[in-house]
C-alpha cells in the first residue's frame, strides 16, 4: 500500500531553488508533514521570519542542518567549532527545531582515531547548552568516501559506539541510507540503535548507478540501487516512528521545475520507499 504523507519530511536543500517561504507553501499544499531546515535557507530568510513562517504553517520543523566539524589540529580551531555549534543550537531553538544534525568532521592531518576523540569531546561539551536549549543532537555517520575531511564517523557501528559512550538523552544518531546502505551489519546496527533509544532521524534518497558526483548527484527514491523498503522495515522494527526525511543534493533535480519535482518526490516516497 502506498504510504500516506504524514511522516514525509523534506529537507529545504532538496528543493534548493525555492526560498523557504515558497517551499513551506508548496509542501503544505501537497500535504507534506515536515521540513528540515538548512542553515543557509534560514539565514537567507532571516531567523525571526523563518520562525514566523513555521509558526503559521501546518508543516512541522523536524531538524536543523547541520552542525559538527569538531576535529582540528589546533586547539583554537576546536574551540571555535564548539562556539559555532553553540550558535547553531541557538538558531535551532530560535526557529523551534528540536534536533540539530551533526556532520562530525575529520582532519586529514591527524589520525581518524584522534579525530574521533575530538568529536566525542566536542559533542560532550555541547550537552549542557543543548539540554538548556531543548535541542537534541544527532550524530550522522557519513559514507567512508568522506572520511578525509567531512566525517571520521563512517559506520552506524561507530555512531552507536559514540552515542552509547556519551550516554545522554540529548545525543542520538541520524541514519541516512545514502551513507549506510552498503554495510553488511546495517540491520543489526539499526536494531541496536533503536534498542538504545538512540535512533533520532531517518534520511532517505537513492544511490544512482553510476553516480557522477559524490556530493551533488544523489538520486530520488527508486532511481538507484538502495533497497529502501528493506531498510525502512528495519528502521520500523527498531521502533522508529518519526519522519522519513528526503534529503537530496542534486544538480539534475535542482535544474528541474520544482513543482514537478515535488510531485515526483511525493510519488517516489509513496511508491518506492
Ligand atoms: Zn543525511
Where do the domains of the chain lie, and which CATH numbers do they carry? 5-272 (3.20.20.150)
- The model's pLDDT over 183-195, given as tens digits with 9 standing for 90+, comes to 999 999 999 999 9
264/80 Cα distance (integer angstroms): 41
85 CA to middle of ligand 1, Å?
18
55 CA to middle of ligand 1, Å?
25
- pTM for this prediction: 0.97
206 in helix, strand or coil?
strand
**pLDDT at position 194, please?**
98
253 CA to middle of ligand 1, Å?
17
Binning the chain into helix, strand and coil, the percentages to the nearest 5 are 50, 20, 35
All three cell numbers of 172, joined, read 542520538
205 CA to middle of ligand 1, Å?
9
Q: What confidence category does residue 103 fall into, taking pLDDT thresholds of 50, 70 and 90? A: very high
191 CA to middle of ligand 1, Å?
19
234/211 Cα distance (integer angstroms): 25
140 CA to middle of ligand 1, Å?
7
63 CA to middle of ligand 1, Å?
11
Q: Which residue bears the cell 535542482?
A: 254
DSSP labels, 188-201: HHHHHHHHTT-EEE
pLDDT at 80 over 90: yes
167/94 Cα distance (integer angstroms): 26
Amino acid at each position: 500500500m502506498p504510504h500516506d504523507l504524514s511522516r514525509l519530511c523534506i529537507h529545504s536543500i532538496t528543493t534548493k531553488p525555492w526560498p523557504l517561504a515558497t517551499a513551506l507553501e508548496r509542501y503544505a499544499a501537497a500535504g507534506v508533514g515536515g521540513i528540515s531546515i538548512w542553515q543557509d535557507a534560514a539565514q537567507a530568510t532571516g531567523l525571526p521570519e523563518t520562525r514566523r513562517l513555521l509558526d503559521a504553517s501546518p508543516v512541522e520543523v523536524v531538524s536543523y542542518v547541520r552542525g559538527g566539524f569538531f576535529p582540528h589540529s589546533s586547539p583554537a580551531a576546536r574551540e571555535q567549532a564548539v562556539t559555532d555549534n553553540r550558535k547553531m543550537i541557538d538558531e535551532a531553538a530560535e526557529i523551534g527545531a528540536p534536533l540539530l544534525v551533526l556532520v562530525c568532521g575529520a582532519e586529514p592531518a591527524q589520525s581518524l582515531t584522534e579525530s574521533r576523540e575530538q568529536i566525542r569531546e566536542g559533542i560532550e561539551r555541547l550537552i549542557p547548552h543543548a539540554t538548556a536549549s531543548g535541542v537534541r543532537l544527532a550524530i550522522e555517520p557519513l559514507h567512508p568516501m568522506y572520511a578525509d575531511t567531512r566525517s571520521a564517523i563512517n559506520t552506524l557501528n561507530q555512531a552507536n559506539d559514540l552515542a552509547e559512550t556519551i550516554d545522554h538523552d540529548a545525543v542520538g544518531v541520524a541514519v541516512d541510507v545514502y551513507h549506510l546502505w552498503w554495510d553488511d551489519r546495517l540491520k543489526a546496527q539499526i536494531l541496536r540503535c533503536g534498542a538504545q533509544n538512540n535512533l533520532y532521524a531517518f534520511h532517505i534518497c537513492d544511490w544512482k548507478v553510476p553516480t557522477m558526483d559524490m556530493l551533488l548527484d544523489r538520486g530520488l527514491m527508486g532511481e538507484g540501487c538502495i533497497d529502501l523498503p528493506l531498510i525502512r522495515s528495519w528502521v520500523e522494527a527498531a521502533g522508529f516512528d518519526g519522519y522519513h526525511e528526503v534529503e537530496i543534493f542534486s544538480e539534475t533535480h535542482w535544474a528541474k521545475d520544482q513543482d514537478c519535482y515535488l510531485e515526483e518526490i511525493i510519488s517516489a516516497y509513496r511508491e518506492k520507499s
